[in-house]
Amino acid sequence: MTAFSHSALLKKICGSDAPPAPGEDLRLVLELCSDEGTERRFLAESLDESPRLCRRFLIAVNHLLPTTLRVSNGRSACETLERNAIQEALWIQAISDVMHAAHDRSRNRLWKHSLLTAMIVRELAAHLSIPPQGLLLPAAMAHDVGHLLIWGPATDSGIDWHAEHDRLVDQDQEPLPERNHCLIGAGLLQSWNAPQELIEAAAHHHHPQNAAEPVRTLIAVVSLADLIAEHVDAEQNPSELSLETSTAWTILNDSAGLSSSNQEQLLADMLIPASIQADRLAGLLS
């Protein structure tokens, strides 16, 4: 899909309203961070201008990222961390902010689902002998962001977004573009100039084999985590979970050295720590 058709799709859905987006201060710091030419000192000054942004940035760095460095302020973070880690901490905030902005029950569940998926991804990465490079946690958090712009009978009547998700994805293989959360999510992330792995996660988390080759393993991790999180989140009649027959499992077995030999072992290892971490993350990012 071209950039033009993505923007046309958003226009069709949102009309004259602006699509949801991260706050201006966060967008500015993200833009600076994505520019290799930005001096670290200038980046730190921009972070310091928003105490709330800086505080939450430090929480993400110190509690979520796989770094041995503990940082106490924005300046030392910007001086010592890899640019990738800074970007990851900022995008975690950006995705969480947008998903948490709407307070109805359905959207709140969607936000919690994105956090659980991210924490499952973190656990899954520890079960891979070759963990993928890239913005793994933000990609996991972004995978279902397109649901923010889907309103229909399910959301209008207060039924959770899962019912709508199943109807659109599992029963109708080709929903209209304006009802397709994968296309909408990819378009939304593109409009924020999000990194490619976030856009690919939104577009291909249900079919990781279609993701671009350089990020396919990362999208497969998100996809497997999503299958687990969807199963955990299902309020009624959860369908049987069969991870080992999923495309994501095959991709990870073939390309990333998945250490678990079966899904029961994998779930036993990760479900409790991931659930506890997701609850903790909700508190940290609120």
Q: Which residues bind Fe ion (CB under 5 A)?
A: 144, 226
Report the distance separating Cα 230 and Cα 206, nearest Å: 12
Q: What is the CA angle 162-164-165, rounded to 5?
A: 60
**In the complex, least distance from residue 146 CB atom to Fe ion, rounded to whole angstroms:** 8
Give the torsion through C-alpha atoms of 200, 202, 208, 214, to 10 deg.
20
**In the complex, least distance from residue 165 CB atom to Fe ion, rounded to whole angstroms:** 6
Nearer to Fe ion, 47 or 232 (CB): 232
Nearer to Fe ion, 73 or 209 (CB): 209
**In the complex, least distance from residue 16 CB atom to Fe ion, rounded to whole angstroms:** 28
**In the complex, least distance from residue 173 CB atom to Fe ion, rounded to whole angstroms:** 14
**In the complex, least distance from residue 120 CB atom to Fe ion, rounded to whole angstroms:** 11
**In the complex, least distance from residue 158 CB atom to Fe ion, rounded to whole angstroms:** 20
**In the complex, least distance from residue 66 CB atom to Fe ion, rounded to whole angstroms:** 23
**In the complex, least distance from residue 15 CB atom to Fe ion, rounded to whole angstroms:** 24
Nearer to Fe ion, 56 or 100 (CB): 100
Nearer to Fe ion, 71 or 99 (CB): 99
Nearer to Fe ion, 200 or 226 (CB): 226
Nearer to Fe ion, 144 or 200 (CB): 144
Nearer to Fe ion, 29 or 183 (CB): 183
What one-character-per-residue DSSP string does the chain give? Answer: --HHHHHHHHHHHHTTSPPP---HHHHHHHHHHH-TTS-HHHHHHHHHT-HHHHHHHHHHHHHHSS-S---SSHHHHHHHS-HHHHHHHHHHHHHHHHHHS--SHHHHHHHHHHHHHHHHHHHHHTTBSSPPPS-HHHHHHHTTGGGGG--SHHHHTT--HHHHHHIIIII-SS--GGG-HHHHHHHHHHHTT--HHHHHHHHHTT-GGGS-GGGHHHHHHHHHHHHHHHHHH--S-PPPP-GGGSHHHHHHHHHT-B--SSHHHHHHHHHHHHHHHHHHHHHHH-
Nearer to Fe ion, 21 or 234 (CB): 234
User: Of the candidates 236, 1, 26, 21, which has an alpha carbon nearest to the alpha carbon of residue 149?
Assistant: 21
